[in-house]
Amino acid sequence: MSKAMAGDTISLAAGLVDSATLPAEEIAAVMPDFFRERGRLALQYGTNEGLESLRRKVLSRIEKADGVPGGLDLGRVLLSTGSQQMLYILTEIMVDPGDIVITAAPSYFVYLGTLETAGAEIVGIPADENGMRVDLLAAAIERIVRAGKGASLKMIYVTTYYDNPTGASLSLDRRKALLETVESFDGIRPLVIEDAAYRDLGFAGKDVPSLWSFDERRDRVAYLGTFSKPFSPGLRTGYAVLPEELVEKVKIFKCGHDFGSASFSQQLIDFAIDRGIYDRNVAILRKTYAAKCRLMCGCLERELAGLAGWREPEGGLYVWLDFGDVDTGLDGAFFSECAREGVLYVPGEFCYPDRKNAPKGRMRLSFGPTSAADIEKGVARLSAALSARSSWGGR
Amino acid sequence: MSKAMAGDTISLAAGLVDSATLPAEEIAAVMPDFFRERGRLALQYGTNEGLESLRRKVLSRIEKADGVPGGLDLGRVLLSTGSQQMLYILTEIMVDPGDIVITAAPSYFVYLGTLETAGAEIVGIPADENGMRVDLLAAAIERIVRAGKGASLKMIYVTTYYDNPTGASLSLDRRKALLETVESFDGIRPLVIEDAAYRDLGFAGKDVPSLWSFDERRDRVAYLGTFSKPFSPGLRTGYAVLPEELVEKVKIFKCGHDFGSASFSQQLIDFAIDRGIYDRNVAILRKTYAAKCRLMCGCLERELAGLAGWREPEGGLYVWLDFGDVDTGLDGAFFSECAREGVLYVPGEFCYPDRKNAPKGRMRLSFGPTSAADIEKGVARLSAALSARSSWGGR
């Protein structure tokens, strides 16, 4: 394979959504109605909590998906600028420097960065094809308690659907076991953040009830979701269902940040749900990403069978690869060789709380924003870079 | 005057913009073009810094208004979720608990709250019809330095155009004197935040160069503005031109908060400027608010001449009233009497850093979102409440 021309680099790194799937035509078509019905409301200040009708939809959709009875106080549901802002605010409230947060290892690297900036000590629990190894959680908490740091354990962060980066979902058994484990420790009450950003993007298998749904008193788990991945990142609208004791605190911080995210975005999403645009778009996305995922995994089978390991995900945007003893790190020869071939990936090391001791051979590939042709070319380039391995010394 | 019926209360308190002035029809009319040209871009992720073409417009408009040469690095300009988010981030970066921030007294009460939450010690400098009494600034800084706290003086916050709450603009002489004063102290370098939120809403007199324009090295003043007041609060888009040494820090925090505000809003504002909608809207707003301001001040003359003092502002949304020895506080009899009459105002006490020792008789009235009829009725109710004064004991 020839070396990539300048400007021809294919990114399998970006966790974006496919521009071709953005519902521009459908939204454009309803704009006259939208402006007639809501134009002035959308252009005026909204509220700190976010648009009430959209918060009601968020809550009823989660309750319906989880098969739990309705009736939770709508005050528990808040909107934010993407789910990132809610992650940031929860971290601001919960974590002082030196406090402990448990995450999976690997985990969502942007949030690991947020935790590091907040001065958190991050304790990573290994993850496998069923998500965080919850069987190792009790021992980890025990170690924290024995070290006299039980009171410093402030949060457990877990992605429950089609994880970024691994693509794995936390199994039903582990959802229950996670909460049972947390509740088995007297006197410590870490907040469990359930990041369900990719829940709507399942394209194989079945949706399962959220971790939040097993928190029967609704006082331990904050459920976070977003309209960015399943609809439009440019509208930057995320949401959370919070334990009651956090609601007022989050509202005070949210008010300090911006006293409310863009009202226009919230009105537009609410209107798109009313008109069925949202659900139609999600259905299209699922098909699109299912096809791209199948394509990427087919290419991997063709190009890298026996040379790398991966598991075909049932949703989301990512395939997690294991190249064994090949160093996939940013400073390694493989990354450079890939750059020369013209393909980018996210080195797995960024996704581990303890980066220095991260396994060497992992990488995250995204099939989200990349065209079918570029997925094929990108994987072929990965393979070519790997073939060149002998020339750079086998590591 | 009869007592207000329930639900008939008129708010002269809200610092909103007039919904009738929101450019809903004009924006609706260009939506087909907007979606054709920018639909997918607007719905996709933007950047952490904000849309480059809009940042370029922000900078060139400020440079033009200030009559300064262009050529400043565009990297200095960042967009945020309203200017509030930028105020919050700058405070996060600059202020640790116990640090000192100088503001005018009175000053924008929402930001005073942000500073209190950050644990700042706020030093208030009295303000008059020309804004902050800059002649008192040197002595205040000297006291801080003599108390050994010079290194703790982190920021000076000043509203330079049509202040919230006083309506006053900082005079040209004082703009220069403020910077000279700050520069006269060796070894301390407080960041000067110039809040120019209302600059575009001048309707009498002339625009004057910003405080920022006199900071010739562009390394002491952060200039903050917003598209909320002059265009649409629902798009929640503010901006800042920053000293170079702050740019990277602010970008890191901004990325932590939300890795970029709503792209859709930024694209829409940029497009509205291109199509002339923004400037036409600002021209309409100026006329609308000039008329409402004139109306409110006429009502005040008719109803309260000799009983209260005020100065007719040349822009913005607010009239600042002085009722002398009448206690306008939230817990006072006058506020209750006004509530009974059916009119709300912002008690002046909220606008002072040292609330307990704030002057008793001040209040902020807003003519922004209120209809002409309600401005007339609202001021008449204030007057009626004041007439009832003898019955509640004269204070």
What is the secondary structure of A152-211 as a DSSP string? GEEEEEEE-SS-TTT-----HHHHHHHHHHHHTSTT--PEEEEE-TTGGGB-SS-----T
Q: Are strands B309-310 and B318-322 parallel, antiparallel or unpaired?
A: antiparallel
Helix (H) or strand (E) holding A145: helix A137-146
CB contact under 8 A, A236 and B85: no
Q: Give B105's strand partners.
A: B126
Residues of B in contact with A17 (CB under 8 A): 44-45
Distance CA(A59)–CA(B66), nearest Å, equals 49
pLDDT value of position B395 = 44
Other CB atoms closer than 10 Å to residue B58's CB: what's the count?
27
Q: Is B21 on the interface with A (CB under 8 A)?
A: no
pLDDT per position as a tens digit, A265-322: 999 999 999 999 999 999 999 999 999 999 999 999 999 999 999 999 999 999 999 9
Angle between helices A372-387 and A277-304 (to 10 degrees): 30
Picking from A232, A236, A251, A253 by the largest number of B CB atoms within 10 A of its own CB, the best residue to mutate is A236
Q: Is A24 on the interface with B (CB under 8 A)?
A: yes
Looking at per-residue pLDDT, the higher value among B21 and A382 belongs to A382
Q: Note whether A240 and A223 are within 8 A (CB).
A: yes
What is the DSSP-derived secondary structure letter of residue B9? Answer: P
Residues of B in contact with A46 (CB under 8 A): 234
Residues of A in contact with B114 (CB under 8 A): 256
Q: Note whether B327 and B362 are within 8 A (CB).
A: no
Picking from B86, B257, B267 by the largest number of A CB atoms within 10 A of its own CB, the best residue to mutate is B257
pLDDT per position as a tens digit, B160-185: 999 999 999 999 999 999 999 999 99
Question: Percent of chain B scored above 90 by pLDDT?
Answer: 92
Q: Which residue of B has its CA nearest to A110?
A: B256
Distance CA(A44)–CA(A375), nearest Å, equals 43
From the list B46, B236, B256, the residue facing A258 with the nearest CB is B236
From the list A28, A32, A258, the residue facing B84 with the nearest CB is A258
Q: Is B368 on the interface with A (CB under 8 A)?
A: no
pLDDT value of position A17 = 83
pLDDT tops 70 at residue A74 = yes
Question: A-B interface: how many C-beta pairs under 8 angstroms?
Answer: 168
| CA B322 vs CA A24, A142, B184, B253, B360: distances in Å | 53, 63, 35, 40, 9
pLDDT value of position B2 = 46
3-state helix, strand, coil in chain B (%, to 5): 50, 15, 35
- Residue A216, min C-alpha distance to chain B (Å): 30
Q: Up-side HSE of residue A372: CA atoms within 13 Å toward CB?
A: 8
Positions of E strands within chain A = 10-11, 77-81, 100-105, 121-128, 131-132, 153-159, 191-195, 221-226, 237-241, 309-310, 318-322, 343-344, 346-347, 362-366
Distance CA(A67)–CA(A307), nearest Å, equals 43
CB contact under 8 A, A45 and B114: no
Q: Note whether B81 and A261 are within 8 A (CB).
A: yes
Q: What is the pTM of this model?
A: 0.95
Q: Are strands A191-195 and A153-159 parallel, antiparallel or unpaired?
A: parallel
- Taking alpha carbons only, the member of A119, A266, B286 closest to residue B294 is B286
**pLDDT bracket for residue A391 (50, 70, 90):** low
pLDDT tops 50 at residue A395 = no
- Residue B86, min C-alpha distance to chain A (Å): 8
Encoding tokens for residue B249? 């820090």
**pLDDT bracket for residue B390 (50, 70, 90):** low
Q: Is A256 on the interface with B (CB under 8 A)?
A: yes
pLDDT per position as a tens digit, B95-148: 999 999 999 999 999 999 999 999 999 999 999 999 999 999 999 999 999 999
Average pLDDT over residues B258-278: 97
CB contact under 8 A, B234 and A41: yes
Q: Which residue of B has its CA nearest to A238?
A: B258
Q: Note whether B190 and B154 are within 8 A (CB).
A: yes
**pLDDT bracket for residue B5 (50, 70, 90):** low
CB contact under 8 A, B259 and A84: yes
Q: Note whether A52 and A74 are within 8 A (CB).
A: yes
Average pLDDT over residues A56-63: 98
Tokens 């000192």 appear where?
Answer: B100
Q: Note whether B198 and B160 are within 8 A (CB).
A: no
Residues of A in contact with B256 (CB under 8 A): 84, 88, 113-114, 117
Encoding tokens for residue B217? 């090295």
Four-point Cα dihedral B363, B368, B373, B374, nearest 10: -40
Distance CA(A86)–CA(A90), nearest Å, equals 6
pLDDT per position as a tens digit, A201-220: 999 988 999 999 999 999 99
**pLDDT bracket for residue B17 (50, 70, 90):** confident
Question: Percent of chain A scored above 70 by pLDDT?
Answer: 97
Distance CA(B251)–CA(A228), nearest Å, equals 21
Residues of B in contact with A116 (CB under 8 A): none
**pLDDT bracket for residue A388 (50, 70, 90):** confident
Picking from A35, A41, A79, A81 by the largest number of B CB atoms within 10 A of its own CB, the best residue to mutate is A81
pLDDT tops 60 at residue B6 = no
Residues of B in contact with A44 (CB under 8 A): 16-17, 19, 22, 232-234
Hey, is B379 helix, strand or coil?
A: helix
pLDDT tops 70 at residue B315 = yes
Asked whether the bond before B106 is cis by omega within 30 degrees of 0, the reply is: yes
Q: Is A40 on the interface with B (CB under 8 A)?
A: yes
pLDDT tops 90 at residue B389 = no
Q: Up-side HSE of residue A24: CA atoms within 13 Å toward CB?
A: 21
pLDDT tops 90 at residue A137 = yes
Q: Is B28 on the interface with A (CB under 8 A)?
A: yes
Q: Is B45 on the interface with A (CB under 8 A)?
A: yes
From the list A40, A235, A260, the residue facing B264 with the nearest CB is A235
- Residue A1, min C-alpha distance to chain B (Å): 33
**pLDDT bracket for residue B393 (50, 70, 90):** low
CB contact under 8 A, A114 and B84: no
Residues of B in contact with A84 (CB under 8 A): 256-259
Hey, is B136 helix, strand or coil?
A: helix
DSSP secondary structure letters along B173-224: HHHHHHHHHHHTSTT--PEEEEE-TTGGGB-SS-----TGGG-TTS-SEEEE
Average pLDDT over residues B205-220: 95
Is the four-CA dihedral A123, A128, A131, A137 of positive or negative sign? negative
Distance CA(B170)–CA(B161), nearest Å, equals 7
pLDDT per position as a tens digit, B318-372: 999 999 999 999 999 999 999 999 999 999 999 999 999 999 999 999 999 999 9
